[in-house]
Amino acid sequence: MTGCKVWPGNGRAWTGLWAKRRWEASARGRAQWTGGKKGRKRNLLVDARGVPLSLVASGANVGDRDMLPATLDAVVRKRPRSSRKQPQHLCGDAGYRGKPAWDAALTRHYQPHIRQRKQEAEAKRKHPGYRARRWVVERTHSWLNRFRKLLISFEKTKASYTALLFLAAALICWRQTISIYG
């Protein structure tokens, strides 16, 4: 027999209602929940092949519509001039709908095509030659997710996370260039 005494319990921490800290009521009543999300989000602008042209990181609590002007302004290569014969198209999902996003696209001389998934599926069904454009951006996000360091952001600063995103985007551009010319 050992000489140690065993304490009752199963070794788990007490997490019942009596063990939790109580919220103190403020002067206005109940404490308000802010609804903020943790984590980071990346917004991409890609060409027709999925090569990243612009990449902006932000907090997960910032909406896509609010990040559209910054994403369109962060293009790393000069765009060709848009004309009536060859307009620059901007395809987005439902996160970019609304007047602010529409105005941001128009002021930067893009022709916006902002649709929901249901609308794209209907257009595909009605017009057999119609190509959905959403998958190009989703494929680029998938390419970025292959860099495991970017899946869960352990970086303390936004600048270091953005630098890792730029490195991954440069590798994607290099791989796409090799597949075209190699």
Residues 16-30 have pLDDT tens digits of 555 555 545 555 555
Read off the pLDDT of residues 142-153 as tens digits, 9 standing for 90 and up: 999 999 888 887
Cα 29 to Cα 37: distance, rounded to the nearest angstrom: 24
Task: Judge if pTM exceeds 0.95.
Answer: no
Q: Which residues contact 73 (CB under 8 A, 6 or more apart)?
A: 108
Cα 118 to Cα 68: distance, rounded to the nearest angstrom: 22
- CB-based contact 46:76 (threshold 8 Å): no
Q: What is the torsion angle, in degrees rounded to the nearest 10, for the CA atoms of residue 123, residue 128, residue 134 and residue 137?
A: -170
